[in-house]
């Protein structure tokens, strides 16, 4: 019994860690009789006979599995070929390294999803300013009996269905991008007083197997975007441009940019080193990028100036109120508002007493393009 125990122990020790190849069935590439070389197309072989494979002592290939003869795998920690399956780069968190056609390959680790059901399927959705990105776990879908390569919108046009593999949170996922645009490839758009919603439906097919245990999946994708945006521009003696974007609870917002210009055609930006004299006209240009211009227009509701960088400062001078020029204190003209994704405002520069800078803040919304909304019209402001 002791002898048997020793044999078992020896076997366990042998496989407890990988060891470099030291057999005689395959010649080393460094052997003088071989004088081998390695090529990514054919692997490592002897110069005297390219049909004869050899065992290398170094591997510089992108796909390291090509370095070693069939049945052996490159071990980067030992810098040699070993009979233990080694994947380089390492497998992801829901994968294991296995020999597939004598090639070390990362495959799905089904034990990681043991007991999972369709109730555990939770796609990842990223709502960006101009695209929606939906991502699904390749291994989980495979375990559940689905085919992650058979994924598409109900509109099956090729241009609508571009999906690709990527790695998110150390898991391999299949991702698809959808444009944020009303009517694009079946997109529907809805909105309320504060947000706009873009919706579509995604189909995932089942695996082509003789025994079918699941049915195709269809789920809805929805991204919401804030209609209200705030931006600010710090300027006075040396005005500068600023960019501000808001996000809220997994939803998204469009980026609103405000710039100050010297000339009425809005082509010569005021630089940080420039000075602006009191009484000089300056021109504010506000722009929203990547928003759906067929469905919305940018409407600047109000702009005001304060002597501090605090937007809640009660000491303020209004430039725009209710979407139109407010000239009680400062001369201003709203040249364009509520017609496109750009707004233009002309104002006469001023200063606060004993203050070097003027801080300007603007609140804007994306106004749905509808005659009923009158995006370019003035609105009465209480207390004016």
Cβ density class 290-317: b for 16+ within 10 Å, e for less: ebbeebbbbbbbbbbbbbeeeeeeeebb
Task: Give the β-pairing of 163-168 and 171-179.
Answer: antiparallel
Cβ density class 110-137: b for 16+ within 10 Å, e for less: eeebeeeeeeebebeeebebeebbbbbb
In this structure, are 299 and 174 located in the same domain? no
Give percent above pLDDT 70 in the chain. 86
Answer yes or no: are the C-beta atoms of 174 and 138 closer than 8 Å: yes
Query: Is 7 domain-assigned?
Result: no
Check the CA dihedral 143-147-149-152 and report its sign.
Answer: negative
Tell me: the pLDDT tens digits for 309-344? 888 888 999 999 999 999 888 999 999 999 999 999
Tell me: the pLDDT tens digits for 77-105? 777 878 788 787 889 999 999 888 877 88
In this structure, are 194 and 314 located in the same domain? no
**Tally of domains within the chain:** 3
Q: Which of 166, 197, 226 is the last residue of a domain?
A: 226
- What is the spatial distance between Cα 142 and Cα 237, in angstroms, rounded to a whole number? 63
Q: What is the CATH number of the domain that holds 171?
A: 2.60.40.3210
DSSP 150: E
In this structure, are 81 and 159 located in the same domain? no
* Integer CA distances (angstroms), 38 to 59, 72, 82, 101, 181, in order: 8, 15, 17, 20, 52
In this structure, are 32 and 133 located in the same domain? no
In this structure, are 150 and 56 located in the same domain? no
- What is the spatial distance between Cα 323 and Cα 379, in angstroms, rounded to a whole number? 7
Range of the domain at 306: 228-368
Mean pLDDT calculated for residue range 8-23: 51
Residue 118 has phi, psi (to 5 degrees) of -60, -25
Answer yes or no: are the C-beta atoms of 172 and 139 closer than 8 Å: yes
In this structure, are 202 and 279 located in the same domain? no
Tell me: the pLDDT tens digits for 344-378? 999 998 888 888 788 889 999 888 888 777 888 88
């Amino acid at each position: 019994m002791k002898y048997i125990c020793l044999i078992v122990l020896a076997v366990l020790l042998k496989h407890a860690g990988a060891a470099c190849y030291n057999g005689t069935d395959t010649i080393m590439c460094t052997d003088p009789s071989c004088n081998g070389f390695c090529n990514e197309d054919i692997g490592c072989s002897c110069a005297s006979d390219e049909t004869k494979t050899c065992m290398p002592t170094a591997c510089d290939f992108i796909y390291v599995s090509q370095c070693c003869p069939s049945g052996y795998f490159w071990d980067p920690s030992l810098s040699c070929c070993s009979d233990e399956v080694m994947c380089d780069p390492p497998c992801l968190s829901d994968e294991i390294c296995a020999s597939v056609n004598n090639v070390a390959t990362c495959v799905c680790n089904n034990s990681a999803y043991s007991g999972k059901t369709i109730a555990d399927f939770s796609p990842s959705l990223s709502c960006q300013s101009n695209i929606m990105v939906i991502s699904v776990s390749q291994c989980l879908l495979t375990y559940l009996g689905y085919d992650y390569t058979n994924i598409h919108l109900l509109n099956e046009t090729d241009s609508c269905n571009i999906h690709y593999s990527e790695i998110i949170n150390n898991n391999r996922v299949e991702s698809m991008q959808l444009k944020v645009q009303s009517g694009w490839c079946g997109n529907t758009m809805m909105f309320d007083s504060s947000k706009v919603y873009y919706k579509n439906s995604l189909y995932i097919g089942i695996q082509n197997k003789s025994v079918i245990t699941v049915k195709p999946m269809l789920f809805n994708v929805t991204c919401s975007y804030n209609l209200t945006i705030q931006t600010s521009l710090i300027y006075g003696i040396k005005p500068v441009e600023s960019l501000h974007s808001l996000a809220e609870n997994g939803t998204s917002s469009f980026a609103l940019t405000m710039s100050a210009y010297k000339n009425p055609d809005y082509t010569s930006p005021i630089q940080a080193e420039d000075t602006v004299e009191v009484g000089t006209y300056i021109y504010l240009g506000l722009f929203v990028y990547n928003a759906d211009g067929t469905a919305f227009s940018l409407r600047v509701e109000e702009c005001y100036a304060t002597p501090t960088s605090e937007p809640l400062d009660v000491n303020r001078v209004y430039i725009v109120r209710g979407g139109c020029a407010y000239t009680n204190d400062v001369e201003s003209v709203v040249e364009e508002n509520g017609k496109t994704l750009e707004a233009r405002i002309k104002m006469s520069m001023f200063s606060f007493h004993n203050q070097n800078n003027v801080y300007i803040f603007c609140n804007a919304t994306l106004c749905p393009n509808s005659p009923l909304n009158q995006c370019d019209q003035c609105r009465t402001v209480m207390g004016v």
